Amino acid sequence: MDPVLIPILVAALVVVLLAASAVRIVPQARRYNVERFGRYLRTLQPGLNLVLPVADRINTKLDVREQVYSSDPKPVITEDNLVVNIDTVLYYQITDPRAAAYEVADYLQAIDQLTVTTLRNVIGSLDLEGTLTSREEINARLRAVLDDATGKWGIRVNRVEIKAIDPPQSIKEAMEKQMRAERDKRAAILHAEGERQAKILTAEGTKQKDILEAQGTQQAMVLRADGEAKAVELVFQSVHRNNADPKVLAYKYLETLPHLAGSDNNTFWVIPGELTEAIRTVTGAFGDRSGSGPSPAPPPSVRPDPAATGDDTPDAAPAPGPAAGPTGSLDAAAVADEAVKQADAAVSQAKAEAAEAAKSPRRT
């Protein structure tokens, strides 16, 4: 090989290497910080970029997409002196690559420590119950503090979320007991309300039942009384329409008297004064059929007790009447039997006439 060609080839190779080192291709969503002789020069944007070989060098390569950073559980003391472990999740994005590279040495560590200190300040003003129920408020306060502090670092904090809050085991057991007691309380209240409603409904049903039964009894009594009144009216009209014989009326009067003492509640009953008149009417009606038997003696008059009335007058003589011998007793019994038979026949005839009279208006 010609010795002259060797230096030319070496020079060409050096030129190619220098040209290749002067070209930088930056991917999308990436930013490269360029330093010239150790001083920040500029930030390369995505695409094809040219730099000065040997003099320029790329210091840092940053990703400007939104990123997620999950920290380890950190112990935090609440206002009521309880230690809880809290995990946080941080969503951030680099907005200024130069500030992120030169304003802070390690922005992730800085954000983590700032999150812990801010979280302890926020949780320290809340008790355990407030910590467990105020996650949105804690997230908002954390985001405001971190966004304000990381702005000068060229980082924007988009969201801060509390991933978990772990109280001590003893507190967990106490909370479980409290929740169990609350559930038992609600169950007891619901059970008591159910029983109360059931008793109210049962009482309402019993009330309605009693009212309906009373109304039914009232209507039945009214209808029964109306029926009896109509029956009495029909009998009264039939008797007056057919001009019933006084003998029949007297016999019915005598037939009704035994029913006065038929009730169990009656301990005594009074014989009305019309009894003698009714007996006289019945026996007088059949007196002409008795034959040779003497007429029945009138009932003895009642004489008041002189000691009770204070009257010292001598006793009145009894009314004269026929002597009651054996023959007279037999004749009186025969007459009574005959009177009963005649009265039964008269009653049957009166019932038949009353039935015919009751049917006659319907036929017309």
pLDDT of 198 reads 92
CA 259 – CA 249 distance, rounded (Å): 16
CA 80 – CA 85 distance, rounded (Å): 15
pLDDT of 200 reads 94
Residues 17/31, Cβ–Cβ less than 8 Å: no
pLDDT of 207 reads 92
pLDDT of 315 reads 41
* pTM, entire model: 0.46
Q: Residue type for 142, please?
A: L
3-state secondary structure of 54: coil
Q: Which long-range contacts (CB under 8 A, 24 or more apart) does 94-98 make?
A: 94/31, 94/62, 94/63, 94/64, 94/154, 94/155, 95/64, 95/154, 95/155, 95/156, 96/154, 97/31, 97/33, 97/43, 97/60, 97/62, 97/64, 97/154, 98/33, 98/40, 98/43, 98/154
pLDDT of 32 reads 92
Residues of the chain with pLDDT under 70: 1-2, 239, 242-340, 343-344, 346-347, 350-351, 353-354, 357-364
CA 167 – CA 173 distance, rounded (Å): 10
Question: Which residues, 6 or more positions from 150, have their beta carbon under 8 angstroms from its beta carbon?
Answer: 92, 107, 110, 111, 114, 156, 157
